[in-house]
Chains A and B, each alone.
Chain A
Amino acid sequence: MVVKKHWQSFGELTGSDSFKASSEKEFAEELPQEGIDSKGILDLKSPRRDFLKYLGFSTAAAALAASCEIPVKKAIPYLNKPENMAPGVADYYATTYTSGGDVVPILAKVRDGRPIKIEGNELSSLTKGGTSARVQASVLDLYDTARLRFPVQMTSNGPQQITSFDAFDKMIAGAMGSLGGAPVVILTSSITSPTTRQIISEFLAKNAGSRHVQYDADSFSGMMLANEACYGKKAIPAYQFDNAKVIVSLGADFLGTWLTPVEFARQYSKGRKIDEKNPEMSMHYQFESMLSTTGGSADERFVHRPTETGAVALALLAAVGGNATAPALGDKLKFGVNEAAKSLLGNKGKGLVVSGSNDVHVQTVVNSINEMIGANGSTVNWGTTVQTRQGIDSDFESLVADLNAGKVGALLVYGVNPVYTHYAADKFKAGLQKTKLTVSFNDRIDETTELCKYAIPAPHFLESWGDAEGKTGYFSLMQPTIAPLFLTRPFEDSLLRWSGNNTEYENYFKQYWTGKLGAVEAYQKALQDGVIEPSVPSAGGATYNGGKLAESVAALSSRKIGTGLELVIYQKISMGVGYQANNPWLLELPDPITKATWDNYAIVSPEYAKKTWNLDLANRRQADKYEVYPEKKVVSINAGGKKLELPVLIFPGIHNDVVAVAVGFGRQSAAQDKTQDKTRDYIGRAVVGAGVNAFPLTSYNGTTIDWFVPDITIDQTDKTYSVAQTQTHSSYEGRDEVVKEMTLEDFKKSPQEILDERAKALKPFGGLENFEKEGTLFPYYDKPGIHWGMSIDLNSCIGCGACAIACHAENNVPVVGKSEVMRFHDMHWMRIDRYFSGDPMDPDSVQTVFMPMLCQHCDNAPCENVCPVSATNHSSEGLNQMAYNRCIGTKYCANNCPYKVRRFNWADYTGADSFPDNQVFTGVGKLDDSVIMMNDDLTRMVLNPDVVVRARGVMEKCSFCVQRLQEGKLKAKKENRPLKDMEDVRTACQQACPTEAIVFGNVNDGTSRIRQMREGNPERLYYALEDLHVIPNVNYLAKIRNTEKISDSITES
């Protein structure tokens, strides 16, 4: 084939030079590439393409240079590494939580020299590792910015620093010398420490005429005096709720604030756990004036007026066959008393009656009741006595009188704050002024310290040596977990020094215990264990002497029962009497019942609200209006000649004629004037504006302090005050997908009911067995290896909130302050939902459910598929995990979470934000001072270095304590053995729980506790909102009530 040549021009045809030249060049014109051959490439004057390169590089370089300026932070390694301490590895030291007499054996988790978390000491047979919210939060008190940092002399110009303890001791010695023989009084809270007691007695021996007065703000003197009369012992017996099949509490909040709640909760939970094969549980009657935390767990509740307390006790005594005639009571109350009596008599020796009253006569009658039902020696254990409360009210009264009479030369105040907690603080204040030498041993300049002449900073218990004997024979030791942060000196050291003993307390303590235990090894073992306990639990009764009963019966019979409004003063589980008042974790912990934070308030009944404000909480329309706005009405309470202005919260379960106010709030320094007010500096930044002080409303009846006021009036004001509640809707609206509860009787009759219901609901989607696989269009994936799961027993949960604080501490959950809680910006990863059912107008019918709610770690999580950037995703171990760095904060996941457990960082709560200086601002969303306080360098020492501090703008939520899981896994791996749950891994909430309501572990491990829990409780097991097919990894065990019926939803539909 001939190849044809096509040509376009003559030049191409002929192949002329000009054509060749032009065809070699791509472009007709000269390209602006100057001098490429004459000079090197580096000398070019940026040709066109290079220009773009240069532009790109210089922009990138400039951006890099501008943005990568990261401040250099130097991490300095140990030059000589201390033995037994590896940076980044936590050490646990056994020590003891003490506060106002309370004793809880604990372990302190110490990371790189600073305690960051409290865990319960499982070697203690009393608490078995349980803790309370206050115990969990106490680690934050160590880093409190308001702590007194050096010894001071209080002058009219405020506290003046004294440079050294020697100088201080000299001043004190001088002052002591000039007392002229006037006695020295040591005023303390209940002293449980045997060494401290010994040091005090040594000091007293050196100072003739001096004495030791113990004062408890929440005293048990009524009980102790009654016991003195009945048993010849001015002491409190150990109660054994674990032996009790019938528990009758006459207003004792024994799971929350009464005596040793952590221990009681542990004992109580024993009777509340259900064995499905043989379902039995204890019967708990609660007679009280307001709905307490304990009342929330009761099977049967009956409310009465505070002035009826004696009558109820008498009626119960009469009903159990005691020597009393039953006074007239309302029908319901009478019925309740008879029911309780029947149960008690039917379970002789297995019943227990306790009373929260501080009235000698009531306690005498209760003693008699316990005698009649055979409790003495079984549930009332006199083999050991409780020492956490030893104060007798009258002792303090006579001290106040002595002070005012000028009979006291020197007053040494340690661990108490009567100016705040005493009903007649003015009298005490006047007495203080008249006393020549007043020294306070305190961690801060509180109300009392401010009025003393000298103050010496007391170390936190985590910085101290010490011991405590909460119950006789049960010791718990204390050892420092950190070098003292400030120039502090233990109380004991001062006393030793001032009594001329130059031994340091540390050595004194060591000698004491080595001597007592016989050998240094034993002492070291004891320190390591933290507790010393009798090998056989001490148990036994005491001889009862009913001699005083008739007198008490007569006294109670003659008491007038009120007809008007009455006031009851109570303690909140978070605050108690206020020793840990400046603790933002505790202030932000929602009250178990009211779910209110940061304040106290007056609780009134729905009936009162209906009567007074025509506000009907049973009416949905009005309830909606009431509950959604935080602004609550303010009333002025006139009680016993004193006035108190408080916001009102309306809650069912309180007696219709009772108003309840909590103590522990309303801290205030001496100068009330705004410009002079030192509360912020002296007591703490978090307490400013938190509630009002209700202690002045308590009164002295001649023997003991009364915590109620019989006849009060309420004046309406037109003011409102905002109360920050984390939960505003109290009914679960009959949504049994969320909460399942049954009566014990029904459960015995048809134990399969819950299982059948679930099976029925899931039947169209594969049934119980195959729901996960067949309830979806998507493929099913196996879950090999570890799969984490949690089980929460609603029957054991008492709503105490220890888990919530443990979670705070473990996971660096930020404090957001009242103003942010009010905007529903609370950050708790672990919350306890509280629901009521029953008729709000009938307090007896009100039933309470506590439901711990946390991320359910759904295997088919709705939050995961909506995140546009996969910031939240699923781990191969079943964890729903958050990659904070990846989160861009669309909040879509939170919206799509059916459990609403996701928490968003609305502002820079933690100071971890990339924007500097954006925590302090005014206007919308202004952060409270408490948030700023939590970001102080000192306070930040509490942060757990294993958990990242989340920046503003990212979502966070429960991680199942993934850092703990990782640690556990590594431990098992290093020891080359399979993971053992309970030993290797426990979540913070699980560890803190005093009732073991939470069980956690690997569900793929056939021997794990969680597996046993699920397999052992198929009839109570359920998953919240199971039919959504989100496949949660948290299951609940339905609540079983030992009562006749489950109350209906609280609002009418």
Chain B
Amino acid sequence: MALLKYESQVRPPLVAGDKHYHDVTEDILRPVESNPTMLWWVGFIGALALLGFGVFSIYREVVYGVGQWNINRTVGWGWDITNFVWWIGIGHAGTLISAILLLFRQGWRTGVNRAAEAMTIFAVICAGQFPIWHMGRVWMGFFVLPYPNTRGVLWPNFNSALLWDVFAISTYFTVSLLFWYTGLLPDLASIRDRARLKWRKFFYGVCAFGWSGSTKHWQRHEALALVLAGLSTPLVLSVHTIVSFDFATSVIPGWHTTIFPPYFVAGAIFSGFAMVQSLLIISRKVLKLEEYITIEHIDVMNKIIVLTGSIVGCAYLTELFIAWYSQNKFEGWAFMQNRVNLFSPLGWSYYIMMSCNVLSPQIFWFRKMRRSVVVTFFMSVIVNIGMWFERFVIIVTSIYRDYVPSSWTVYYSPSIYEVGFYLGTFGLFFTCYFLFSKFFPVIAVAEIKNILKRSGENYKAKMGEAEAETPEEFAHEMAHAH
């Protein structure tokens, strides 16, 4: 009977472990439905502590002024905006995975999209903190909102890239949140249906918006997913483009660069994927989801990392070339002295950026490295360090020595509250992430069932039985089949 069996091995299965539909539900909902582990508590309390420190840092800054940070008259933006751009960049992978990969029908995305989207939302929340709290008078921050007001004809300045940021980020956040939440609905309904405790039934019932799993629901759900994917795809590209306008539309050498939009988007995807890697490598281990988030996922994402890392590298070299080619004295100074010169006061940051972002990801040209969990985790951290320095290099090394040498200063080191604010956003991020991993399924249960080739697997399993039979037995069985 061996002739009956033919299996193509072009692609490895997206979900390993020969899962049945029920197994999937059980595996993924286990952390949601069981009590949190010790590890979860430790992590959660740690995250809360960081968040608390962050809140205290912001309290100091709001009460005593921005002087609580070590930025100065020349370097008006330091860690604050560096962190902002960094977090925004991290918030790019989620939407890219859920939207663009959905449109490109990349089946593997289902294993990682839920966590990546959650990460996006939390990262955007963290990012948003910086432009808000870096304001000298945060309580007047609502001035940036364009609403009919009692202040006569006073409107925000639509020429300002900072105002574009407000719109870009709030739009991005809204669409990402909607996308993430609509995807969650079927799973929330599953949890509701499986819930034994009353409060759980109520809580998830409210969250599930009355999802009944009817065909109509599914049809609308999928249509909405496509619409939102269509909406978010341009957003993925536009948000960081607009963030880059903060710099590109200025007059400061090192900021005033037309290459910024594509360069920022590539960098954002680069750092976003690195962050997804960091988180998922931990999550799959801790939540025992290795069979859903497989080495294949890691491999694929590493390919994206090496691609975007190289794009970013090209951008760096282009910048240098243009700085030379333009023969603009000030631009030349910003690049050759402030950055490339290792011995200038902040020159070292350029080299950290270069080595972390351009050189080290090249290791992923090797399949063995791409498929190594340890290497991937290490690299994902390195990439995010590198991307932090990229923003630091762009922001600080451009302004600390710009046009008028009399005003040159240096941004020595952040104050404790500046660091505290940054750590606080980590606290916020992980608090959210821990809550998310406890109360929501980190993998899209409903969606992953779509890519489960269960009938094929069943067929294969049956083939095994058939193979063991003699043709007579088989014929007999067939003849007596109902």
Residues of chain A touching chain B, judged by Cβ–Cβ distance below 8 Å, are 620-621, 624-625, 628-629, 727-729, 731-733, 735, 737-738, 820, 823-826, 831, 833-835, 851, 853, 862, 865-870, 886-892, 894-896, 898-900, 902-908, 913-915, 918, 921, 923-925, 951-955, 1024-1025, 1028, 1030
Q: Are A891 and B76 in contact (CB under 8 A)?
A: yes
Q: Are B251 and A888 in contact (CB under 8 A)?
A: no
With most chain A CB atoms within 10 A of its CB, the pick from B60, B63, B131, B157 is B157
Q: Within 8 Å CB of A867, what residues of B?
A: 157, 160, 162
Closest to B400 in A: A628
Q: Are B143 and A865 in contact (CB under 8 A)?
A: no
Closest to A870 in B: B157
CA distance A644 to B139 in the complex (A): 50
Q: B404: which of A870, A899, A915 is its contact (CB, 8 Å)?
A: A899
Q: How far is the CB of A615 from chain B (nearest CB, A)?
A: 14
Closest to B401 in A: A729
Q: Are B136 and A892 in contact (CB under 8 A)?
A: no
Q: How far is the CB of A252 from chain B (nearest CB, A)?
A: 28
CA distance A89 to B343 in the complex (A): 57
Majority DSSP secondary structure for residues of A touching B: loop
Q: Are A888 and B405 in contact (CB under 8 A)?
A: no
Q: Within 8 Å CB of A620, what residues of B?
A: 343-344
Q: A904: which of B70, B76, B412 is its contact (CB, 8 Å)?
A: B76
Q: Are B160 and A866 in contact (CB under 8 A)?
A: yes
| B77 is an interface residue with CB less than 8 A from chain A | yes
Q: Are A952 and B65 in contact (CB under 8 A)?
A: yes
Q: How far is the CB of B164 from chain A (nearest CB, A)?
A: 9
Q: Within 8 Å CB of B71, what residues of A?
A: 891
Q: Are B143 and A904 in contact (CB under 8 A)?
A: no
B-side interface size class: 35 or more
Q: Within 8 Å CB of A866, what residues of B?
A: 159-162, 249-250
Q: Are A896 and B404 in contact (CB under 8 A)?
A: no
Q: Are B343 and A731 in contact (CB under 8 A)?
A: no
Q: Are B404 and A738 in contact (CB under 8 A)?
A: yes
Closest to B251 in A: A862
Q: Are A729 and B406 in contact (CB under 8 A)?
A: yes
**Which chain B residues (127-167) contact chain A, with CB distance < 8 Å?**
131, 134-141, 143-144, 154-157, 159-163, 166
Q: Within 8 Å CB of B141, what residues of A?
A: 888
Q: Are A731 and B157 in contact (CB under 8 A)?
A: no
Q: Within 8 Å CB of A924, what residues of B?
A: 60, 67-68, 415-417
Closest to B405 in A: A729
Q: How far is the CB of B135 from chain A (nearest CB, A)?
A: 5
Q: Are A890 and B162 in contact (CB under 8 A)?
A: yes
Q: Are A915 and B63 in contact (CB under 8 A)?
A: yes
Q: Within 8 Å CB of A918, what residues of B?
A: 63-65
| B458 is an interface residue with CB less than 8 A from chain A | no
Interface string of B393-405 (1 = CB under 8 A from A): 0000001011111
| B450 is an interface residue with CB less than 8 A from chain A | no
Q: B77: which of A624, A826, A895, A925 is its contact (CB, 8 Å)?
A: A895
Q: Within 8 Å CB of A862, what residues of B?
A: 250-251
* Chain A to chain B contacts (Cβ below 8 Å), 22 pairs: A620-B343, A621-B344, A624-B343, A625-B345, A628-B410, A628-B412, A629-B412, A728-B408, A824-B72, A862-B250, A866-B160, A867-B160, A868-B160, A869-B144, A889-B136, A890-B136, A892-B160, A896-B252, A898-B251, A900-B403, A904-B66, A924-B416
Q: Are B64 and A728 in contact (CB under 8 A)?
A: no
Majority DSSP secondary structure for residues of B touching A: loop
CA distance A418 to B214 in the complex (A): 99
CA distance A900 to B405 in the complex (A): 10
Q: Within 8 Å CB of A621, what residues of B?
A: 343-344
CA distance A908 to B63 in the complex (A): 9
Q: B67: which of A826, A890, A925 is its contact (CB, 8 Å)?
A: A925
Residues of chain B touching chain A, judged by Cβ–Cβ distance below 8 Å, are 60, 63-68, 70-74, 76-77, 131, 134-141, 143-144, 154-157, 159-163, 166, 246, 249-252, 329-330, 333, 343-345, 399, 401-410, 412, 415-417
Q: For the complex of A and B, list the 5 residue pairs with the smallest distance between their C-beta atoms, beginning with the closest.
A: A889-B136, A953-B136, A906-B67, A824-B72, A833-B406
Q: How far is the CB of B142 from chain A (nearest CB, A)?
A: 9
Q: How far is the CB of A762 from chain B (nearest CB, A)?
A: 15
Q: How far is the CB of A869 from chain B (nearest CB, A)?
A: 4
Q: B402: which of A737, A833, A898, A904 is its contact (CB, 8 Å)?
A: A898
Q: Are A907 and B64 in contact (CB under 8 A)?
A: yes
Q: Are B344 and A888 in contact (CB under 8 A)?
A: no
CA distance A824 to B162 in the complex (A): 25
Closest to B66 in A: A906
- A824-B409 CB under 8 A given contacts A870-B156, A908-B65: yes
Q: How far is the CB of B344 from chain A (nearest CB, A)?
A: 6
CA distance A737 to B251 in the complex (A): 15
Q: Are A891 and B406 in contact (CB under 8 A)?
A: no
Q: How far is the CB of B453 from chain A (nearest CB, A)?
A: 50
Q: B144: which of A831, A865, A868, A907 is its contact (CB, 8 Å)?
A: A868
- A903-B73 CB under 8 A given contacts A628-B410, A728-B408, A869-B144: yes
Q: Are A954 and B252 in contact (CB under 8 A)?
A: no
Q: Are A738 and B250 in contact (CB under 8 A)?
A: no
Q: Within 8 Å CB of A954, what residues of B?
A: 136-137
Q: How far is the CB of A803 from chain B (nearest CB, A)?
A: 15
Q: Within 8 Å CB of B144, what residues of A?
A: 868-869, 888
Q: Are B343 and A953 in contact (CB under 8 A)?
A: no
CA distance A902 to B246 in the complex (A): 18
| Additional pairs, 5, CB under 8 Å, beyond known A868-B160, A870-B156, A888-B137 | A825-B72, A865-B249, A866-B162, A887-B136, A906-B66
Closest to A919 in B: B64
CA distance A891 to B403 in the complex (A): 17
Closest to B418 in A: A924
Q: Within 8 Å CB of B246, what residues of A?
A: 892
Q: Within 8 Å CB of B406, what residues of A?
A: 727, 729, 732, 831, 833-835, 851, 853
CA distance A888 to B329 in the complex (A): 34
With most chain B CB atoms within 10 A of its CB, the pick from A891, A913, A921 is A891
